[in-house]
Homo-oligomer: A and B are copies of this chain.
């Protein structure tokens, strides 16, 4: 049996973020739905890039952001995701390994380029994402390093993996390996549109294959096709051990079989870019969880870490997060 040497292994789309400021008129002109993630092809990626302003380029991807955050907090992490053998892929590998994560997945050769997400940040700090999945569409079960998964207390999966058929299979392979080794499986619902695309499968996942769920309010409402958060939470409670529902400036709600815990958001002087807020909340929460912290402290650390990430462009920490963990009672 593989010993538990890691805290969290993340599996997700390995994406480089290309970020620029834009106004609402830009979103309208280019038929973008504010606040959402849209899948685009390479040609549209080129069109949008040509039209957008001066950019900041930094590694992204939901699960990758979470893993980089846990590593920065001091956790032991690994990541599985597919880049191509190109400059952006090289940058992605540099960043996740520099953060401290193990990243055994070999780069793909001969196929599409490394994935990129063109992100427009409006003056209200909302982010609108346009993702060209590139090499990520070829992630498959063969890429799941079983020993790496078995070695982690938690395997963290992003719902976005369901947007590519072989990645969806890889998702299930990983979850099965983790559970067979007696480990926990965590899932992020990723995006309300993603939930709409895969609602029935996501419900089955939450009911049968997931121990810890991360979702924001709109994702959870989309999952249960309701306008009532109370109703969604009641349904969640019947399905899952732990759910953390993030609600932006209103903080987060942790739902367990026994409790509903409300935790306020951490204060931020000036919110610049909300990209990665949910990913980094999950990082703080899971770091606390793997250290045995009580639920409200997990959520509080999630809020503190999310507050760091929304104070600047991009979804990777710009200063070490380990100081933040000192505020938490384990």
Contact B272 A54 (CB under 8 A): no
CA distance A57 to B18 in the complex (A): 9
What residues on B are CB-neighbors of A320 within 8 Å? 21
Q: Nearest chain B CB to A163's CB is how many angstroms away?
A: 25
Give A84-119 interface residues, CB cut-off 8 Å to B: 86-88, 91, 94-96, 98-99
Partner-contacting stretch, out of A183-191, A294-302, A311-319 = A311-319
A56 within 8 A of B: yes
A245 within 8 A of B: no
A3 within 8 A of B: no
CA distance A109 to B103 in the complex (A): 34
A222 within 8 A of B: no
A126 within 8 A of B: no
Contact B68 A98 (CB under 8 A): no
A259 within 8 A of B: no
Give A272-330 interface residues, CB cut-off 8 Å to B: 272, 312-314, 316-320
A196 within 8 A of B: no
Q: Nearest chain B CB to A79's CB is how many angstroms away?
A: 12
Contact A54 B59 (CB under 8 A): yes
Closest B residue to A56 using CB positions: B58
CB within 8 A of A50: which of B55, B56, B59, B94? Answer: B94
A30 within 8 A of B: no
Contact B313 A53 (CB under 8 A): no
What residues on B are CB-neighbors of A98 within 8 Å? 20, 52-55
Contact A314 B57 (CB under 8 A): no
CA distance A314 to B96 in the complex (A): 20
Contact B123 A56 (CB under 8 A): no
CA distance A59 to B94 in the complex (A): 19
Contact A54 B87 (CB under 8 A): no
Q: Nearest chain B CB to A29's CB is how many angstroms away?
A: 15
CA distance A58 to B55 in the complex (A): 6
Closest B residue to A320 using CB positions: B21
Contact A49 B312 (CB under 8 A): no
Contact B319 A21 (CB under 8 A): yes
Contact A57 B54 (CB under 8 A): no
A25 within 8 A of B: no
A208 within 8 A of B: no
CB within 8 A of A99: which of B53, B269, B318? Answer: B53
| 6 closest residue pairs by CB, A with B | A57-B57, A54-B95, A87-B87, A56-B58, A53-B98, A54-B98
26 contacts between A and B (CB under 8 A): A21-B318, A21-B320, A49-B94, A53-B99, A54-B58, A54-B59, A54-B94, A54-B95, A54-B98, A54-B316, A54-B317, A55-B91, A55-B98, A56-B56, A56-B58, A56-B313, A56-B316, A56-B318, A57-B58, A86-B87, A123-B319, A269-B269, A312-B312, A312-B313, A313-B313, A313-B318
